[in-house]
Structure 1
Amino acid sequence: MTSAVSPVANAVVAHSTFNSLRLGRTSQFVVGRLIRFWDSRNIKKNGEFMGITILLLNELDSVIHGFIPANRASHYRPDLKSGSIVKVDRFEVARCAHTYKITEHQFVIRFTPSTRICEVLTDAPVINSEKFMMRRYDHLHVLSNTNLELPDVVGEIRSVQGSDLRNDAATTRVVVRLLIEPDVTVYLSLWDEAASTFRGLLKAGDKTKSVMLVTTVNPKLFGGNMYLNSTPGTRFFFDTNLPDIAEFVSRVGGESSKVFPLVDTLQGIKKKELVSIADLNTFISNSNEQTQEADFFCKARIVGVVHENGWSFVACTGCNRKLERIGTSLSCNRCVTDAVTGVVRFRVELAVDDGNDSATFVFFDKEMTKLTKQDAAVLALDEAANSGEKNIPICLEELTDKEFVFQIRVTPFNFTPNYRTFTVSTITEDIISLTHGKIEEDENILRSNEGDSGLKKAPPSGPYVLGENVGEECGTADPPEIAVTRNNRKRSSKWNAPFL
């Protein structure tokens, strides 16, 4: 079989420009510099490998992206070298999707089984080394929460926070406060490989390169703050000779060699505080706190049951994890056995309100059984006996308008791209029961400890519903067990592209 990867080309003749390409399979060929490439994964399918995305830059300073499907990736991967000038022919030209655009070109080059790619070593056109799709704050604000583009951004690092920052094998979230305008700071959220790569840069020990250009980020607005979420295509550049970095330093007055602080939150927060729902929302939104672990008390009134996601699930009796339905049978992704048995457990979302703000708290079996004095399995049998009608049990509806003090455990799990839920670990009718007499008065605690926890009072923000995604919710009653399985959760397209 003839290889689709040609020998090194010695010269280039009559190649097509990116703008002259036409839809469909073509006999034309293009020449460009391979400026970046990365593995594309389907976030909706637990990170399934979809193929390789490449970016090509030509002598007219135009950028187009190409896509190598998964079944051909291993064939082409050895010949992909960032910075090399390559010739590509026998490909298919297709339109770009309307979302998650990574270039300004309307077309994408798709590799087919007959596509050939080879490096050009002689008589190659003069092509710049890099090209970026830069966006400033006003444009980022328009793009936020639309998933239309994954732009590039330049800014000055003001601080870095995360857990185990010197361990480049860690992939948990890293938050970078980035000054992108003279009076505008955004939060760069780095996940997975991007988080690991950035930790590697920190481990190298050079904290003097403070002006950074970061590529292919997904802008989001949450809690009044802008977050730039990393994607598989995110890369970091610090070269002060890059025109975009030089322009930023000149325009904003950024200091390219300013030392920035690192805040390692490996130990987390151990102190418990009585807070409002607004405080909880601020805690998640505030990058100075969001990678830390903490327990909080929150006094609120139950408004009602959130019906959308039901009230129960079938858990594995061996590990308490939610069982997956495959055809007519149930299976456990954790227990390696065919003899899987399940039991119905509570998983209830309750809308709560503290008089100023609202949220949705998630309750698992232990606390909901204690609260309702009912067994989820028995209620499920009653439901089945009632012609299988999917009604919310009366004991849950009767919780409406009751007021409790909830202990909320916040962990890094709460800050994954698609899960922002508050899980209740303990419930009582007064704060004294929760603290074994160590807290005397609710209002005194708020006054005496205000400022100690790092929580800032937020203005009322109206209804705020959390916990919309339950597809892979852990089937356990206790937060420690939830923490064990949080790394196995699937991520939805709410925050990242389906695949990049």
Structure 2
Amino acid sequence: MAATSLDQLDRSKKHWKIMVRITRTWEVFDFEDGDKRISLDLILLDTHGNQMHATVPEEDALKHERVLQEGNICIITNFNVGSAKKFLRPVNNIHRIFFKWDTVAKLMNDQSNNFPMYMFSFKTFNAISSGYEETQNATDVIGILISMSYIKEGTPSVSKRRDIIIQNERGHQLKITLWKKKSLEIGEDNIRTFDIAPIVVITSTSVTFFNGVYALSSTTATKVYIDLDIPEARPLEEIIKCEGKKTQLLTMPFVSSYDDDVLDNLDIKTLQDMISALDKKPSMGTMYTCKAKICEVLHDFKPFYYSCGKCVRKVIRKDNNDWYMIRIQVEDSTHSISLVVFDKLAEKLILDPVEKLVDMEKQDNGSELIKEELKKLIGVSFTFEIKITPFNLKDKNKSFTVSKIFHINRDIQIGGIHENVQKDQIVIDQQDNDCSEENVLISKMVTSDKTNTKFDTNDAPNDRSTLTYKSKRIKRTTYKK
């Protein structure tokens, strides 16, 4: 019986024969018992560039694992053809292969290099961030890895994760969160070995949307490839060669791309406008967006504090749960005010985790080392949002808490590319807790307004996750080994 191409498979008969390359494999684990594997899943690719998702139940996976290795070319017979997933399909195919107890998978003797090795359906950054309403297919992207956070260990409600930032040939940036085991697919040691910024391909991601910002999250089908020899990498390679800088690993978690249109439409007030607005007794919760430069770091309080893991109330230290709380003086051409910046927002400004400052404090001259470290903030300009609180309305207090950072302007070297970050579109929200200076200083409870979405189920995110995007142009390409 001759082999059938994947695009000809359907449910009309039970006996098929296919010749395919295994281009990707991943394990699917039980949602309740994260250590219990329930299936081995595959992406199959035929000689015509057709792809199909295949599932091997756990009870049959062990006998096939030697043959079903990534890169192998196999002959597979006696399997079932069923419907593909309704949401976040790892490939664009309405059908899916299911292995049976008597399915046969044999390794081809001729592992020919003429057989396609990879196939991707890359979406442009603009297509991702312009707002979709399609949840059917997962998303493949390619870009220069310009920053990567250290792994943030999980909690009972949120799994461990790593954030990476990739950049396309136009200089636009996109955040991708790698969850659980996917956070280990690229590590700090790997990055340090690169002389230049690597080009990464990330497959089968889901589009997430929060506070007007689009980003990507890994699913169980996600695979991270580094420096593949593919045509889409050529423009990115030229960008890297022009700079020739060594890759730097920076801790820049929780950064997301922001549309130019959104930034252009921000109603930016001068500091004087904001101060004058206090005379008019604005409503509590009124928000203002301003742009200013840091002119001084204030050291009347320690730049971090120890808090409860569920709120921002100060507590007695029992384990590592420190939060940034930095106070800075900022100015524009009209006025000067003091700001308090908490936790991840402060970490974005400082470019180091709070643990670094905690360790510094333990040294003999710790306080001086910390002050020297924070000097690098002076001269940094950024666009930020503040929310009017009772603390501000009382006696017209001119110290404000930063609730969001849209944009940071400084010259930094990231991932081997010398960037003027004024071109970047960056937004960071104070998501973890809606904390303000007065709440911390008087140790009052603050209600958390963070929306923690768990994206790491068997095929994370869950089908019920909110994903909003519409179909755009998809580039479908195959590559030969």
Smaller-chain TM-score range?
A: 0.5 to 0.7
What is the match of residue 121 of structure 1? 109
How far, CA to CA, are the matches of 1:410 and 1:47 in structure 2? 32
1:131: how far off?
0.9
How far, CA to CA, are the matches of 1:217 and 1:410 in structure 2? 34
SS at match of 1:202: helix
1:42: how far off?
4.7
Which of structures 1 and 2 has the larger relative contact order (alpha carbons within 8 angstroms, sep 6+)? 2
Q: 1:260 aligns with which of 247, 256, 263?
A: 247
Q: 1:496 aligns with which of 442, 461, 473?
A: 461
In structure 1, what residue type is equivalent to 2:230?
Answer: L
Q: 1:458 aligns with which of 385, 406, 411?
A: 385
What is the match of residue 337 of structure 2? 447
Indicate if the aligned counterparts of 2:163 and 2:178 stay in contact, CA closer than 8 A: yes
What is the match of residue 150 of structure 1? 138
Change in Cα spacing, 1:244 to 1:465, as seen in structure 2 (3 Å) is closer
Determine which structure has the larger strand proportion and give its number: 2
What is the match of residue 425 of structure 1? 313
In structure 1, what residue type is equivalent to 2:337?
Answer: R
TM-score normalised by length of structure 1: 0.51
SS at match of 1:94: strand
List per-residue Cα deviations over 1:357-409 (Å, max 9, x = no partner): 9xxxxxxxxxxxxxxxxxxxxxxxxxxxxxxxxxxxxxxxxxxxxxxxxx997
Q: 2:285 aligns with which of 354, 359, 374?
A: 354
What is the match of residue 124 of structure 2? 136
Change in Cα spacing, 1:182 to 1:174, as seen in structure 2 (3 Å) is same
Indicate if the aligned counterparts of 1:172 and 1:192 stay in contact, CA closer than 8 A: yes
1:355: how far off?
3.2
1:492: how far off?
6.2
What is the match of residue 168 of structure 1? none
How far, CA to CA, are the matches of 2:102 and 2:204 in structure 1? 29
List per-residue Cα deviations over 1:398-421 (Å, max 9, x = no partner): xxxxxxxxx99789x8xxxxxxxx
Q: What does residue range 223-242 of structure 1 map to in structure 2 within 5 Å?
A: 223-239=211-227, 241-242=229-230
Indicate if the aligned counterparts of 2:138 and 2:204 stay in contact, CA closer than 8 A: yes
What is the match of residue 41 of structure 1? 29
Indicate if the aligned counterparts of 1:145 and 1:219 stay in contact, CA closer than 8 A: no
1:61: how far off?
1.0
What is the match of residue 57 of structure 1? 45
How far, CA to CA, are the matches of 2:101 and 2:338 in structure 1? 69
1:232: how far off?
2.6
SS at match of 1:140: helix
1:47: how far off?
6.8
Structure 1 gap segments, 5+ residues each: 1-12, 166-170, 266-282, 288-351, 358-406, 414-421, 428-437, 468-477, 479-488
SS at match of 2:19: strand
Indicate if the aligned counterparts of 1:59 and 1:125 stay in contact, CA closer than 8 A: no
1:264: how far off?
4.4
SS at match of 2:233: helix
Change in Cα spacing, 1:45 to 1:87, as seen in structure 2 (3 Å) is same
Indicate if the aligned counterparts of 2:215 and 2:256 stay in contact, CA closer than 8 A: no
In structure 1, what residue type is equivalent to 2:461?
Answer: N
What is the match of residue 18 of structure 1? 6
**Deviates further, 210-219 or 14-23:** 210-219
Structure 2 gap segments, 5+ residues each: 154-158, 258-282, 289-303, 316-325, 330-335, 350-381, 388-402, 405-428, 433-442, 444-453, 465-481
Indicate if the aligned counterparts of 2:205 and 2:218 stay in contact, CA closer than 8 A: yes
In structure 1, what residue type is equivalent to 2:57?
Answer: P
Indicate if the aligned counterparts of 2:148 and 2:165 stay in contact, CA closer than 8 A: yes
What is the match of residue 185 of structure 1? 173
1:449: how far off?
4.7
1:142: how far off?
5.6
SS at match of 2:15: coil
What is the match of residue 27 of structure 1? 15
Indicate if the aligned counterparts of 1:162 and 1:264 stay in contact, CA closer than 8 A: yes
Change in Cα spacing, 1:259 to 1:465, as seen in structure 2 (3 Å) is closer
In structure 2, what residue type is equivalent to 1:161?
Answer: S
SS at match of 2:384: coil
Indicate if the aligned counterparts of 1:147 and 1:497 stay in contact, CA closer than 8 A: no
1:16: how far off?
0.5
Identity of aligned residues (%): 14
What is the match of residue 346 of structure 1? none
Indicate if the aligned counterparts of 1:408 and 1:424 stay in contact, CA closer than 8 A: no
How far, CA to CA, are the matches of 1:247 and 1:164 in structure 2? 32
What is the match of residue 196 of structure 1? 184
What is the match of residue 365 of structure 2? none
Q: What does residue range 307-386 of structure 1 map to in structure 2 within 5 Å?
A: 354-356=285-287
Change in Cα spacing, 1:495 to 1:138, as seen in structure 2 (3 Å) is farther
Residues paired across the two proteins, number: 311
What is the match of residue 161 of structure 2? 173
In structure 2, what residue type is equivalent to 1:259?
Answer: K
How far, CA to CA, are the matches of 2:33 and 2:463 in structure 1? 9
SS at match of 1:194: helix
How far, CA to CA, are the matches of 1:494 and 1:36 in structure 2? 15
Indicate if the aligned counterparts of 1:24 and 1:94 stay in contact, CA closer than 8 A: no
Indicate if the aligned counterparts of 1:175 and 1:189 stay in contact, CA closer than 8 A: yes
SS at match of 2:250: strand
What is the match of residue 323 of structure 2? none
SS at match of 2:337: helix
SS at match of 1:148: coil
2:203 maps to 1:210: no
